[in-house]
Amino acid sequence: MPLGKPWADRTVNNTNPYDTGATPMTGMTRSYSWTVTNTTLAPDGVEIPMLVVNGQFPGPLIEANWGDWIEVTVTNGLETEGTSIHWHGFLQTGTPYEDGVPGISQCPIAPGKSFTYRFRAELYGTSWWHGHLSAQYINGLAGPIVVHGPKSNDYDIDLGPVMLSDWFHTYYTNLLEQVYYASPTGPILPPMAENMLIQGKASYNCSNTKLPCTPNAGSAQFKFTKGKKHLLRLINHSAEALIFFSIDGYNVTVIANDFVPVEPYSTDLVTIAVGQRTDIVVEATGKSTDAVWMRITEGPCCSLNDGLSFTTTAAIYYEDANTAVAPNTTSSINDSRYLFPLNCNNQPLDVTVPAYAMPVKEPSTTLSFLMTGGDNSTGQFVWWMNNITFRADWNDPELLEAKLGNAASLPIERALYDLGTNSSVRLILTSVGFPASHPMHIHGHNMQVLAEGVGSWDGSTIVNAANPQRRDTQLIQPNGYLVVQIDLNNPGVWPFHCHVAWHVSEGMNINIFEQSPTLEKEVQIPYKMAQTCRDWSAWTGTHVVSQIDSGL
């Protein structure tokens, strides 16, 4: 193997990550066998019904090298629900049918049936997988992915993925019923997280719940080695929390956002929206007996919580520290840095500079979307993008209809935008009225983030046009704007949605249909897709399916 690694002399600076010809040909397939089941677990001491893979929470790690193929056989062991798994951030070039989105790329996997996903690791870094049928992932159907590739900064020890999330003590279907009739002023309030988890762990005050509860359930622990640099792969798999991450008394060096290595920069506070990942390097500059707190915080009003447990900690112990004694460090972060609305955003775009430079080009087409929320004619709260609230048909995936040339005949609520043979699109999003932030996630792509802010875009300002931030998920501020650009070089149908579970459930999604002639004539849809739909149709023919939300 050249230079001892499958990527040989490719570096973050000299290799275009979107050039498929530059992806290493490893000849390796990483295979996994999963079963999705219902179970009862107590991540923070409170027993709740959960959805898990192979009995684990967080779910199993997928690990591969850049250029490997990944193959995952998913068996649906649920008795009353379909399911599907999405591979967040993966481009799926040539395999749009493996994206794992019910009603878009596939029918749900019926109870008792299996589906084998097969796709390539075209990018490298940190990501995650999650259920994409309704809001299943918020009850445990999620796990980390690590794709090893070139380093953008030196480190000595890879501590692996660090899973971060808000946490609810209620099953997702009940939360969605609450969401649809909620109002910030009542009488029905939006769901509010009861806790936050690090590595699927936290403690909860059992006096605040009537559910079975074990006090002092414990927190996650990490090990530092004096003088060494440690890589932590932060993943926000929340339902809706904007997470602020810090380590008491330490600065961290950010080296990647999502699947994009960036020019390293130092900070004492990392902001991570739902679906986002941030790789950081932390140098262990303390004594070998030190113990410090890692902490995550939900910003007041940037996210919703019941106020009882909006900060969670995990212990970092140096090699000679007494692990029986909790750290006694305190945070140096002023509470004002968490406040709504000024801090409901990602790091400034002039700071987050990709390691591989790609200048902005003039787009071949532009689409503008006004994002609003309110009650529909039946009194349910929904989100609109240009007055359309999305709703999937689980029995009729849009990709399969597009392949057959039927895209134009789909109903308006399928929110399909056929961009034909355009080579790129600039998307201008403006959020008005309801003051909420939205982490917007694009499937099948990374997007160049050209501008963001409060109010409306001036139509010309682009931050760092020579090399703007790229990532697959970017936060739009409350009552703000976001301008992104996407190269349309991946034939398929790709969702672009808010990753707050409630918001996409309430219809905040559009679907980009690109390179339609190529999809219709050249992309071969495998037989398993039709069989999965037949299995799902057969199951729904004898069971009542309650699709209470958009389906995503």
Q: Please name the residue that has the structure tokens 């040339």.
A: 405
Enumerate the β-bridge partners of residue 481: 430, 453
Residue 434 has a pLDDT of 78
CA 45, 49, 51, 56 torsion: positive or negative? positive
pLDDT digits (tens, 9 = 90+) for 57-99: 999 999 999 999 999 999 999 999 999 999 999 999 999 999 9
Among 467, 447, 540, 549, smallest CA distance to 502 is for: 549
Residues 6+ apart with CB under 8 A from 458: none
Looking at the domain 365-525, which fold is it? Immunoglobulin-like (2.60.40)
What proportion of the chain, given as a percentage, has pLDDT over 90? Answer: 86
Q: What pLDDT, on the 0 to 100 scale, is given for residue 491?
A: 98
What is the per-residue pLDDT for 379? 86
Cα–Cα–Cα angle for 377, 381, 382, rounded to 5 degrees: 90
* DSSP state at residue 343: T
State mean pLDDT over 348-358.
96
pLDDT digits (tens, 9 = 90+) for 121-135: 999 999 999 999 999
- Phi-psi domain of 405 (left: phi exceeds 0; alpha: psi -120 through 50; beta: other): left
| Domain 159-338: top CATH class | mainly beta
pLDDT in tens, 325-348: 999 999 988 877 776 556 678 899
- Report the DSSP beta bridge partners of residue 130: 86, 142
pLDDT digits (tens, 9 = 90+) for 25-36: 999 999 999 999
Q: What integer pLDDT is reported at residue 190 of this predicted model?
A: 76
What percentage of residues in the chain have a pLDDT greater than 70? 95
- Is the pLDDT at 411 greater than 80, yes or no? yes
Q: pLDDT tens digits, residue range 301-328?
A: 566 555 554 889 999 999 999 999 999 9
Q: Note the pLDDT of residue 181.
A: 80
Residue-wise pLDDT for 164-206, tens only, equals: 999 999 999 999 989 888 766 665 677 889 999 999 999 999 9
For the record, the structure tokens of 138 come out as: 């918020």
Mean pLDDT (the chain, rounded): 94
Q: Are strands 252-257 and 260-267 parallel, antiparallel or unpaired?
A: antiparallel
Model's pTM, two decimal places? 0.96
Q: 445, 91 in Cβ contact below 8 A? A: yes
- Report the run of H or E that residue 510 belongs to, with start and end: strand 509-514
Residues of the chain with CATH 2.60.40.420: 2-153, 159-338, 365-525
Strands, sheet with 480-487, edge to edge from the N-terminal-most edge strand: 381-385, 365-375, 424-431, 480-487, 447-454, 470-471
CB 390 within 8 A of CB 415: yes
Ramachandran sector of residue 208 (left: φ over 0; alpha: ψ -120 to 50; beta: rest): alpha
pLDDT band per the 50, 70, 90 thresholds, residue 298: confident
The CATH number given to 2-153 is 2.60.40.420
Which tens digits make up the pLDDT trace of 204-237?
Answer: 999 999 999 999 999 999 999 999 999 999 999 9
In contact, 69 and 28? CB cutoff 8 Å: yes
Lookup result for tokens 């790329």:
105
Mean pLDDT computed over 370-386: 92
Displacement of CA 482 from its chain's centroid (Å): 18
Per-residue DSSP letters for 65-88? ETT-EEEEEEEE--SS--B-EEET
CA distances from 466 to 17, 361, 448, 461, 462 (A): 17, 9, 11, 13, 9
User: DSSP per residue over 460-506, as a string?
Assistant: S--TTTTS--EESEEEEPTTEEEEEEEE--S-EEEEEEE-SHHHHHT
**Predicted confidence (pLDDT) per residue in 274-297, tens digit:** 999 999 999 999 999 999 999 999
- Closest residue by Cα to residue 446 from 408, 416, 476, 473: 473
How far is 276 from 298, CA to CA, in rounded Å?
15
Q: What is the pLDDT of residues 413-464, one digit of tens each?
A: 999 999 999 999 999 999 998 788 899 999 999 999 999 999 999 999 999 9
**Predicted pLDDT of residue 341:** 56
pLDDT of res. 185: 62
> What confidence category does residue 300 fall into, taking pLDDT thresholds of 50, 70 and 90?
low
DSSP one-letter code for 90: -
